[in-house]
Amino acid sequence: MSDPVHFLNAFAQALGVMTLYPEGHPSRERAVDAAFSELNGIASRGAHPSFTFLDDEVVFGRERLRELKSWDWGKRLVAAGVQRLEFEREVTRDEFEGFLQEILGRLMLSSIDTSEARQMRSLGIRFGAVGLQGQEETGAAPAPLEMAALDVTLGEEAETFRWLQNEVQSRGSVPLLEAEAVVRSLSVAMHGDSRIVLPLLKLKEFDQYTTTHSLNVAVLSMGLAESLGCRPKEVRAIGVAGLLHDIGKIRIPLEVLTKPGKLSDEERAIINQHPLDGARVIMQSDEDVGMAATVAYEHHIMLNGGGYPALHYNRECTMASRLVHVCDVYDALSTTRPYREAWPSEKVLSYLEERTGTEFDPELVGAFIRTLRQGQARVRVLSDESATSS
Ligand SMILES: [Fe+2]
Ligand SMILES: [Fe+2]
């Protein structure tokens, strides 16, 4: 067994023991000590240890921990909103215990009994794929979740996405696991109070545009995909595609991206390059990213073949691309940009409607408008508080 696996096992053990014994109890102290010393063991190897939890997988740094393939705790942590665990610096024993306590609090809030396998199953049902629609066939309607953590500002997601953009800049490929973790976490925020809300970010500064816009397009795309009855896995794949659709913009100089006036031909050419750059950078990833790459390539192509990149022959773009295209334009027009004010939602919706059949897929626009109109009261605008730069 590798050290990170030792640590995670000791970490899970400590959480389990902590539910049984009060503070100060020798068993509890021992369990926390054991986990803490395992943590020091991996921390002493250099780099900051980081873990990403997916439903059925745990990743340490970039390495999948195969030994933990059927480790129950990954699921539990994801359900409690813990998708990523990163130790940025050395922590003290006290800090570590405080951290365990907080994780435990989150696990308790999502009413997980850490001792019962049976409870674990019912948890899987209650939260399903983090509560996405279509996971409730078991009959048991999900109880409203009382998770303080859901009242988020999406600051963490924005932070992770900013980090992801930097990674793309420096290594030229997309850290896909983190993109998936962001999507999962957005999905938790969307389903936080057992109905769908679309928690959209409000832009505070222009240079945050790409981050804010990407998160919003991911949320809108998942909302629309759900309303069309897509399965949770497809919904998440569309979420990742929405999140990454503009990733090709990272190479565009900020002055061009935020230029208030008319663009020169050269600047226009730079902008028009982002779908191709985005698809390229996504294809560098070693995961199955076909859909995200296609969406990045096609999201500015209109239904009638107009837009960019120019099509060599007139073909239909994929459903995911047509879907993200609608959400992309909706969010872009709803946001204040250096060259124009934000449009009110109704004006944007009429714009979409007017251009159905030429720019947009009529069915998708119809479904999008219904989703937003029905859910108007549910669209919460949250501010991206921790954001300081893009
Ligand atoms: Fe774009
Ligand atoms: Fe966009």
pLDDT digits (tens, 9 = 90+) for 183-214: 988 887 777 655 566 666 655 554 577 888 99
Q: What is the pLDDT of residue 381?
A: 55
| d(C-alpha 302, C-alpha 38), whole Å | 54
Q: What is the pLDDT of residue 382?
A: 55
What is the Å distance from ligand 2's center to 206 Cα?
14
Q: What share of the chain is helix, strand, coil (3-state, %, to 5)?
A: 55, 5, 35
What is the Å distance from ligand 1's center to 214 Cα?
10
Write the CB contacts of 142 (distance below 8 Å, at least 6 apart in sequence): 126, 127, 128, 131, 136, 194
Q: Hey, what amino acid is at 208?
A: Q
Among the bound ligands, name the one nearest to the CA of residue 327.
2
What is the Å distance from ligand 2's center to 3 Cα?
42
| d(C-alpha 211, C-alpha 158), whole Å | 6
Q: What is the pLDDT of residue 264?
A: 93
Q: What is the 3-state secondary structure (H, E, C) of 223-272?
A: HHHHHCCCCHHHHHHHHHHHHHCCHHHHHCCHHHHCCCCCCCHHHHHHHH
Ranges under pLDDT 70 in the chain: 1-2, 46-47, 55, 81, 88, 108-153, 192-207, 375-390
What is the Å distance from ligand 1's center to 163 Cα?
20
